[in-house]
Amino acid sequence: MSEFHGGFFVRSVDAGVAEPIRKALASALTARRVDLERNHLTFAARRGCPVMHVAVRGAVADGKDYAFFHEQNADLGADVARAAGVEVWAYHYENQVGTESVRAFGPDGTKLREVSCRWDDLAKELGGDLDRAERAKRLFEAAPLGALARTLGIPRSVLDMALGYDTPTVEVALVGPSCTDAIAAYLAQPLRSLYGGLSPATLTGELDVAQTFYFPAWMVAEIEGLAGRLDVPVGTIAWAAWEAAKLELHHTTPICEGGDASGPARFLPAPPAQPPQAIEVPQLVSVSAKALETPPTSDKKVKRTLAVPSRVLDEVRVFSTATDRSLSWSLETAYLAARERLHAATARS
């Protein structure tokens, strides 16, 4: 599934900057003939994250334009920076074509630098001597949001997904009374942590990055049950599912290239399997192991944040982007394909 978002990362998590930002953007948008009544602002923050996300939303920044409005109007970051008196980064991110950009502004509104890229072009610059997983890892590290994440000392996933796409926001009208109290009340509530509900101590060793997924409720319960039986983190089960099924997924899910679909289907080559060492997932299972209860047909999805290896998340992201699927769909489908084998898995001593 394609994802689009953009906005401004403001180096302050203080309700006091909200009203000056609102006034500055209202004035700048009016000058650009944007209807203030049909649009609004959103603010989002995470506990432990040094920046607050601010975005224009509504008629001019809906759907794909959530990303492209902020790309085309990145210079609004200067107004935001002057109003807040702190560093600001205007950005956009979209994973359909694969583009992202970051424009940095100093506290006085001076533009400091601007970087943008197409993932395909950046991948070519990295050369052809890397396997797909390593190239994806280096690509996301070298891309603008990866560089900004290093500057801020946070995981890239906070910038390319969590803050702009997966964090509860507070909406603020562009016209009307001061928004300071609303932002103060929002920030006073328990915020999601920088690591998506996982403590930093969880993200150690191989499970070094957190990502939120949406899975069927029965699947979450089943994965948690397997993790308890095998005495491993829940993320290890998701990791094992991906490694056990990614060859099949890559061979059966065609690349989504748009245009005329009448030509021969193309498929991504599967990266080499690198399963977790903590458990043994058999290649073949007995007939009794295959006699699993049929999963419920309910479409009810629940949100679950998992700690997984960054390499695995990079592989899932590359696969999902190429096939125009969501990260959740890719990992859910992997689990379904490997379900019988996972139920037959044993813990290594």
The token duo for 256 is 């989504």
Over residues 223-250, mean pLDDT = 94
- The end-to-end CA distance of the chain, in Å, is 39
Determine how β-strand 209-216 pairs with β-strand 88-94: unpaired
Q: What is the pLDDT of residues 170-189, one digit of tens each?
A: 999 999 999 999 999 999 99
How far apart are the C-alpha atoms of 339 and 336, rounded to whole Å? 5
The pLDDT tens digits for 261-313 are 566 888 999 999 999 999 999 988 766 555 678 887 766 888 888 889 989 99
**Look-up of token digits 């005329």:** 260
User: What's the pTM?
Assistant: 0.70
Average pLDDT across the chain, whole number: 89
- Count of beta carbons in the 10 Å neighbourhood of residue 12: 18
pLDDT band at 133 (very low <50, low <70, confident <90, very high): low
